Amino acid sequence: MVIGNYFVYLLLLAVSGCLCQHKNQIRIGVFFNADQKNITYWDAIKELLPETVELVTSPNEIEIVPENDAFSTQKQFCNFIQKTKNERLMAVIGPKSLTASTMIESICEHLAVPYISTSPKPPSVKETPYSISLYPEFRMLSKALAKIVESFDWTSFIILYEDEEGLLKLQDVMKLTHKNKEAKNEHKFFKLIIGGDNRQALKMVRNSNINWIILDCHVDRIASYFEEARNVDLLSDLSRSFFLTSLDAHTMDYTQFIKELNITTIRLFNPAHPVFNRVASRYFDSPKISLNNITVEQALVLDAMLLIGETVNQLKAQNKYLSPRRISCHSNSRYQDSLSIIQEMQEVQLNEVLTGSKLSFASGSRDEFTLQVIELNSKDSPIAIWNSEDPDNIELTRNETEREAEFKRRIAEHNFIVSSRILEPYLMEDPNPDAYKNAKYYGYCMDLMTEISKIANLSFEFRITKDNSPANVVNDLVERRADLGIMDFTITPQRREVIDFSLSFMKLGIGILHQKPIPEESNNKYAFMRPISWTVWFYIWTLSLINSITMFFVARMAPAEWENPKPWDPESKELENIWTVKNFLWLCLGSITAQGCDILPKSVPARVIGGSWWFFALIIISSYTANLAAFLTYEKQDVVIDSVEELAAQSKIKYGLMSKGSTEQFFSSSNDSLYGRLWNNMKNEKPSVFETDNPSGVERVKVTKKGLYAFFMESTGIEYELGKSCNLRKIGGLLDSKSYGIGMPLNAPYRNMINHAILTLQESGKLQQIKNKWWKEMVRGEPCPEDPKQSASLALSNVGGIFDVLGIGIGIAYAIAVIEFLWNVRQLSIEEHLSYMETLKCEIKFACNIFQKKKRAKPVPSESSSSKSSLSDQHEKISIARSIFSKSASLLNLSTHDEHRPDASQVRQRSRSKVSNNHLRVS
């Protein structure tokens, strides 16, 4: 820094030398603030000075004035003027603080002394005819900043500023409107308290959706603001970009902050430019001063020296000499500046200065300058250049590939925080207590993120959100606690307003999860009775009895039912009616079992009743047959629902959903009347039908008896649960259609990169592979038994009751047969005057002789077996002779009786009624 002091000294020496042939002594007043005293270039300037000029200002004579004390500054400056009263005062270089600079400038104006300023000058400060400012003109700078911000393509931004002067500098930036009219064009402002606690304001910045921040502050305070920003987690957010408007921001060491942070700033010179290099290497001791870190003051002071030196040379070339000023603050006398040095300075053409290739002043301010836009992590080359000669344009120096490479570098530096929640099969926790960080989790989301990280070359860390709720994953992204949100993350319009989503990685819709109807209990062998309810069974049998009795009376009244019992005897005086209640019961039973009956009524009224009964039987049989299969295999649920409409139409089965999720959002915001009704029902249900998460809902569906609870759930979850449990089913179709995406903060710069990774995974089939892995291969459910509905064979357990019915029928038949037999024995014993036991023995003996086909009308208890056999032989012979006789008569078509022979049915009828007596009487 001593080198710098010498530079000024020698330069002043040079300046004084060129004004007179005999070592003209000139003086330059250098007024700096305390922190500027290191800006010195005494040695390096030697070569500029003509030999005839002697600079009387020594390095020790730099005046240090206080920053904000105008009175002391004035006093100090006037002392200086007094002290140098008889010297040739060439110019005064002013300090950077506005208060001190304004004070000195106004005195210089009064004394007609050229004043050179190297610090910013707000537009409110009046220009004086004796001053020159090397700092870029305020309005031009504002224009430049606006153009630069516009080139960033920021739709909205936050301005953090320290004072109104800063805001004035950004007035053109504030007027910016984004070319995309659709985009949200929002500007927010937060004032920073110098030396105070700004964490509250920075927290608000962190919670805001705006990613782009313009920080306007003095370079010395950037680090402390960044420190505070780091404390409130503002710096860990990869989506944020900072733009520092300080022209010295490049001099700071940001290594502790910026690894992955995007910080852009502006610089008044380009160290890579050949002119800068030439000038800087001539006047700076470059190993000591890093050319990259030269402050704008250093550069401008050097340029001021160059300007003074060049002015001196020009004056010398014109043989103009500076005379002693003899001025004082306390007199009204003004120095008569016949040379008009200030004008000479303004007209000087300097083509090689540090801060650009040209120095030019219109109305005392520097209006020609160039701004280099640089990113702090690659300061060497600017990313854009703005030039005051073409203020409405900006030259972007980086191509797309370079921009992408830089972005990838930042991505690689960043550790992505992925907010998620525990839910099978998306993300599960390893119970092993030693598992650490990502090793603690596994599942679909972990696999998906791992694949994305391979494609995008990024590192990540899963964090489980508070309460394991989807709403908190959204909050994590809104409040920038996470860079990505991965789970069963449904893309909804409400969420898209506060966060961004990647392309979808899974499609789904809302479905209804319900219990499968429970198969018939294995021991219900009377299931075949189920198609018809017990009441209907009762009515059928009662009706058949009533019907039989009715038909009996009708038949008794109908003349057509009364017939001659001896059809071969037309003279017969008797008529017989075969229709007893018993026969009608037989007829009813025959028709309702679809078997028919041999005897049928002949009269019209009986046939009308019979026809009606057959129609009744037809419907009953058809309904029974149609329902039989289903009732043999399934136990009937109280209410069976097959669609959301059916669910809404009943009140027995309750239905619910997971609260605070997108499914709830769907119902609560739906305009559809059906879904609105479902939502109202769910809200008013007591006890609550809502569950905190999907597994609880699935469990409730499983344990609720008789399937009295159904759960609205996303189809992906339903698919997974159906793979695990055989007792569940999905009711109907999907209520809507949506998809899952990866969530990220609004306008996250890595969104395209994530989209690209998802597309790549989709195209390569990897996405489907991961899904299959977690939905099929890793599912640990038992294979489900074949659907009983499709099973071809009926088990005995389902139809065992039919055998019981048959068995009971046989039992009753035997009982009746025994009673009839005993009754008949009693009748015979009375008729034949035999003892009951004797008759019984005789009849049992006969019944047991299964080869005996014919029987005597009366039992003969004393007959020997031989006589019995000869008697039976005799009977047999007679019977054979009769049969031969009747057969030959029928062949010859002869009537064995009379013309009025009974028809076949009547004969059969009669023989039957005889058989029913269990006796074949041989006459």
Question: Closer CB to ligand GLU, residue 735 or residue 770?
Answer: 735
- CB burial of residue 887 (10 Å; 0-12, 13-18, 19+): exposed
- The distance of closest approach from Cβ of residue 400 to ligand GLU in the complex, given in angstroms and rounded to an integer, is 35
- The distance of closest approach from Cβ of residue 372 to ligand GLU in the complex, given in angstroms and rounded to an integer, is 47
- 464 within 8 A of 422, measured Cβ to Cβ: yes
- 485 within 8 A of 420, measured Cβ to Cβ: yes
Number of Cβ atoms within 10 Å of the Cβ of 878: 12
Per CB under 6 A, does 744 bind ligand GLU? no
Per CB under 6 A, does 365 bind ligand GLU? no
DSSP letter (8 states) at residue 359: B
Question: Closer CB to ligand GLU, residue 592 or residue 658?
Answer: 658
User: Encoding tokens for residue 714?
Assistant: 């996303």
- The distance of closest approach from Cβ of residue 713 to ligand GLU in the complex, given in angstroms and rounded to an integer, is 6
Q: Per-residue contact track with ligand GLU, 672 to 711, x per CB under 6 A?
A: ----------------------------------------
Per CB under 6 A, does 443 bind ligand GLU? no
Binding segment (CB under 6 A) for ligand GLU, from list 325-333, 390-398, 405-413, 487-495: 487-495
Return the residue of 84, 155, 603, 663 that touches ligand GLU, per CB under 6 A: 663
Binding segment (CB under 6 A) for ligand GLU, from list 49-57, 91-99, 659-667, 876-884: 659-667
Per CB under 6 A, does 661 bind ligand GLU? yes
Residues 761-780 interacting with ligand GLU (rule: CB under 6 A): none
Q: Per-residue contact track with ligand GLU, 466 to 485, x per CB under 6 A?
A: ----x---------------
DSSP letter (8 states) at residue 178: -
Question: Closer CB to ligand GLU, residue 424 or residue 488?
Answer: 488
Question: Closer CB to ligand GLU, residue 7 or residue 489?
Answer: 489
Per CB under 6 A, does 137 bind ligand GLU? no
Binding segment (CB under 6 A) for ligand GLU, from list 241-249, 655-663, 862-870, 892-900: 655-663
- The distance of closest approach from Cβ of residue 486 to ligand GLU in the complex, given in angstroms and rounded to an integer, is 11
Binding segment (CB under 6 A) for ligand GLU, from list 170-178, 488-496, 770-778, 914-922: 488-496
- The distance of closest approach from Cβ of residue 737 to ligand GLU in the complex, given in angstroms and rounded to an integer, is 14
Per CB under 6 A, does 658 bind ligand GLU? yes
- The distance of closest approach from Cβ of residue 468 to ligand GLU in the complex, given in angstroms and rounded to an integer, is 11
Residues 706-725 interacting with ligand GLU (rule: CB under 6 A): 713-714
Which are the contacts of 677, defined by CB distance < 8 A and separation ≥ 6? 648
Per CB under 6 A, does 488 bind ligand GLU? yes
Binding segment (CB under 6 A) for ligand GLU, from list 532-540, 657-665, 786-794, 904-912: 657-665
Strand partners, 429: 441
* 3-state per-residue secondary structure call for 616-685: HHHHHHHHHHHHHHHHHHECCCCCCCCCHHHHHHCCCCEEEEECCCHHHHHHHCCCCHHHHHHHHHHHHC
Largest Cα span, the chain: 189
Select the residue whose beta carbon is closest to ligand GLU and give its number.
Answer: 661
Which residue in 562, 638, 594, 238 sits closest to 417, CA to CA?
238
* 3-state per-residue secondary structure call for 404-473: HHHHHHHHHHCEEEEEECCECCCEEECCCCCCCHHHHEECHHHHHHHHHHHHHCCEEEEEECHHHCHHHH
Binding segment (CB under 6 A) for ligand GLU, from list 289-297, 661-669, 850-858, 864-872: 661-669
- The distance of closest approach from Cβ of residue 472 to ligand GLU in the complex, given in angstroms and rounded to an integer, is 11
Question: Closer CB to ligand GLU, residue 489 or residue 552?
Answer: 489
- The distance of closest approach from Cβ of residue 678 to ligand GLU in the complex, given in angstroms and rounded to an integer, is 14
CA distance 556 to 579: 8
Per CB under 6 A, does 449 bind ligand GLU? no
- The distance of closest approach from Cβ of residue 673 to ligand GLU in the complex, given in angstroms and rounded to an integer, is 22
Question: Closer CB to ligand GLU, residue 265 or residue 490?
Answer: 490
Place of tokens 């105070």: 196
Return the residue of 157, 161, 489, 562 that touches ligand GLU, per CB under 6 A: 489
Per CB under 6 A, does 662 bind ligand GLU? yes
Give the sign of the dihedral formed by CA 448, CA 777, CA 765, CA 743: negative
H/E stretch holding 738 reads strand 738-745
Can you state the percent helix, strand and coil of the chain, rounding each to 5?
Answer: 45, 15, 35
CA distance 518 to 852: 57
- The distance of closest approach from Cβ of residue 714 to ligand GLU in the complex, given in angstroms and rounded to an integer, is 5
Question: Closer CB to ligand GLU, residue 277 or residue 696?
Answer: 696
- 339 within 8 A of 315, measured Cβ to Cβ: yes
Rg (the chain; Cα; Å): 57
CA distance 338 to 340: 6
Strand partners, 28: 91
Which residue in 261, 150, 234, 210 sits closest to 746, CA to CA?
210
For ligand GLU (CB under 6 A), the number of binding residues is 10
Return the residue of 490, 515, 548, 603 that touches ligand GLU, per CB under 6 A: 490
In the complex, the residues that contact ligand GLU under the rule CB under 6 A are: 470, 488-490, 658, 661-663, 713-714
